[in-house]
Amino acid sequence: MHDPDLPPRLRALLERLPAEQLPITYQQAAEALGLSPPRTIQRVALALEALMREDVAAGRPLIAALVVSRRGELPRAGFFELAVELGRFPADPTEHVEAYRRERAKALSGGG
């Protein structure tokens, strides 16, 4: 279920939220965008992947770093896999958390 207007809507949502409200969860993003089942989280994840590709191509911080799993402070595994694939994160998984923290700080500071 591909929704071509979802990535720009998600970017706009993340850009307008105050820093104190970030990061948000995948579920919060889905609710804020008014998504209804089925596969709301999957649709958010696909939109985030599109934003990651756009940000890497444009040399911007990954705005997708501002969306995390409800089970912790980190994005889902797919975020890290794509960040490595796009050359933004090191391949070594032991370096992923620190790379994520740096990326999130850049995204929060509006470095994009």
Residue in 86, 108, 80, 111 with CA at minimum distance from that of residue 14:
108
Q: Is there a contact between 49 and 78 (Cβ–Cβ < 8 Å)? A: yes
The rounded distance, in Å, linking the Cα atoms of 13 and 93 is: 29
pLDDT at 111: 60
Q: Is there a contact between 8 and 51 (Cβ–Cβ < 8 Å)? A: no
89/110: higher pLDDT: 89
- Residue 1 above 70 pLDDT? no
Q: H or E segment at 24?
A: strand 24-25
Residue in 34, 29, 2, 5 with CA at minimum distance from that of residue 15:
29
* pLDDT tens readout for residues 57-84: 999 999 999 999 987 789 999 999 999 9
pLDDT above 70 covers a percentage of the chain that reads: 96
If DSSP codes are grouped into helix, strand and coil, which group holds residue 27? helix
Q: H or E segment at 67?
A: strand 67-68
Q: H or E segment at 12?
A: helix 6-16
pLDDT above 90 covers a percentage of the chain that reads: 89
Mean pLDDT value across the chain: 94
Confidence (pTM): 0.94
pLDDT at 112: 45
The rounded distance, in Å, linking the Cα atoms of 98 and 46 is: 24
pLDDT at 92: 97
